[in-house]
Chain A
């Protein structure tokens, strides 16, 4: 059977499915595929704002950048800036994801029982999710203001010296993590609450009959029961946090100095703050971030599969 025949036959059988899928493929191609290919291409050139093709009204300036192969990658990887930023980004991701997950898990367990005002608590805990992230972040920034913020006013009331929330490298790192945890908990909470409710109540009853205490029930029923949900949310959360541009950019702009600068905010700096904007180096950073995350995702899935996870 030739290729053309096979295609025709496949299409004949599955034409309906193909038609249904086509719009999505098209949209993903335009929105994700094209920029991705273009980004990889730019990372292999010396393109910047001053040499790409531009149309300014009726004037047309042709592109004059050239192909430079892997020069950009070599420059990035041999620069200590990349490794410094990578170190902090990993720390930031691990810190945020673990704290978010543990807080979310604790809250989900607390809310997974009948207690008075449960709906109210659930709504209150989802609130950070309902508020647009940038508004929350600006609010945090106002709270953190060393001279006029509420946090320091409260501390002053207790006789404690002002804390340089965003003005000291170490404090700033803790502050951005705290803000991101606050933003991330609702997602964990909702996902884990859903997971908890899918664990059959009989298991707990049986365990209780057998004399298992609360910790043993948690350890041997809740944790395994949540594995499918938690493995997914941890991976998602890790990817989001790794690239959590708004929290860092809006709270500290990567400062003080470069203390809180993660990989994506540095790529932004190259592409939007330097002048002329350095598209090619920024694209190289972007591709490296993608490669890193893909690697993590693959390794993570392998590890899960070894534990018998079908995912």
Chain B
């Protein structure tokens, strides 16, 4: 048996070496674009769009080749969950990083802080910047420089099944308290649960936190805010929704389970973003596409708010083909492409001028989400922004399973933040 194991180890070693060798060889892009004149060479683009969106994005990205026939666009779809780590590994290891990366709004500052992103000020990548929505620009800037061009903007909304709410005889709830009251009627009259609560993803905690007037941290005065009263109330809200059976939740696979529950008509409502519009409409509960309604996220005890999210396009600082990459970012963030994205995927543009196009203006989802985005809450765009979520996730799991009280959870999250943010109070 021991010999067997040694044999396996040897095979693994050889395989590992072979892998390392190929990985090293894969790093060099062909950079033909730096010589001036016509753009050429390859632009590798890592896109993070979901299954319902990726075919459209691939087509749009490859459309760049029509404008610049000598440039080859290599489109790679990287699942959202892996993309951050994958980019960091590739960029930090100086091997295999893409030329253009689709960066989530919370990632841009993180990557820029590490020196992985090329500053775009004064490059062709930033085109007609006055046209961008001011709130979309916030996350692209870090320490006085611009590291990305905004691609799409989004926020969370309350997706609801119009038929179920009508059958139950309840209106669209304006607050989580109203939702809890309506839940009994919905259950009694239709058998459906009122809400799917994403207990697996801390991003979905933010509406509850903002609803109590709280925030994760105050980046200007460097204060951790999550463990004040608002944080405790927010944890209490999610716990009471689940305990009273007004909401169902999961600690894993929330994305799939939420979408399925909504599509099958097992829940009347779910808090979700524009990226799931296409997915939701594919379900049997929304055979009549008009049955899917979207309303603002319910409010909490003292306020109402949902986080502003979205995606930016960044250029890798080590790209061997910077000129073509800048041009590609300009193209992907242009009004024309943004309009096509909205027409085909109902995602929200980041350019004011696109909202004036009739096809965009009259898009039902844009009609709803635009005012919601205008009122969405910006997160602190700090380098550590993305790691603020993990402690919330752990604690919201604990609260929902009864392993911690809301007070303990808020305190533990705050303590974790102070470990991450050393100079915060």
Contacts and interface: CB of A to CB of B under 8 A. Distances in A.
Interface of A: 27, 31, 49-50, 54-59, 61, 141, 145-148, 166-169, 172, 191, 194, 229, 232-233, 236, 251-253, 255-259, 269, 272-277
Contact of B318 (A31, A56, A194): A56
Contact of A148 (B116, B260, B320): B260
Interface in B77-120: 85, 88, 91-92, 94, 110, 113-116
Contacts of B113: 50, 276
Interface residues of B, number: 49
Given A57-B94, A147-B260, A191-B1, 9 more contacts: A49-B114, A54-B114, A56-B116, A59-B318, A168-B401, A232-B1, A256-B400, A257-B251, A274-B387
Given A54-B115, A274-B420, A145 B257 contact: yes
B401 A257 contact: yes
Contact of B13 (A27, A61, A194): A27
Nearest to B196: A147
A276 B92 CA distance: 12
B295 interface: no
Given A272-B85, A274-B420, A259 B387 contact: no
Contacts of A57: 94, 316-320
A49 B403 contact: no
B395 interface: yes
Contacts of B257: 145-148
Contacts of A172: 251
Interface of B: 1-2, 5, 13, 16-17, 85, 88, 91-92, 94, 110, 113-116, 199-200, 248-253, 256-257, 260-261, 266, 316-320, 383-384, 386-387, 390, 393-395, 397-398, 400-401, 403-404, 420
Nearest to A194: B1
B317 A147 contact: no
A55 B320 CA distance: 13
B88 A56 contact: no
A273 B202 CA distance: 14
29 contacts: A49-B92, A50-B113, A54-B92, A54-B94, A56-B318, A57-B94, A57-B317, A57-B319, A141-B253, A146-B250, A147-B250, A147-B260, A168-B401, A169-B403, A251-B252, A252-B251, A252-B252, A256-B397, A257-B395, A257-B401, A258-B394, A273-B387, A274-B387, A274-B420, A275-B383, A275-B386, A276-B114, A276-B384, A277-B88
Given A141-B253, A275-B384, A58 B401 contact: no
B114 A50 contact: yes
Most chain A C-beta atoms within 10 Å of own C-beta, residue among B113, B320, B401: B401
Closest 3 CB pairs of A and B: A57-B318, A256-B251, A257-B398
A257 B115 contact: no
A257 B114 contact: no
Nearest to B382: A275
A211 to B, nearest CB: 34
Contacts of A145: 250, 252-253, 257
A259 B403 contact: yes
Nearest to A59: B317
Given A27-B13, A49-B92, A269 B390 contact: yes
Contacts of A272: 85
A275 B389 CA distance: 11
A251 B199 CA distance: 16
Contacts of A27: 13, 17
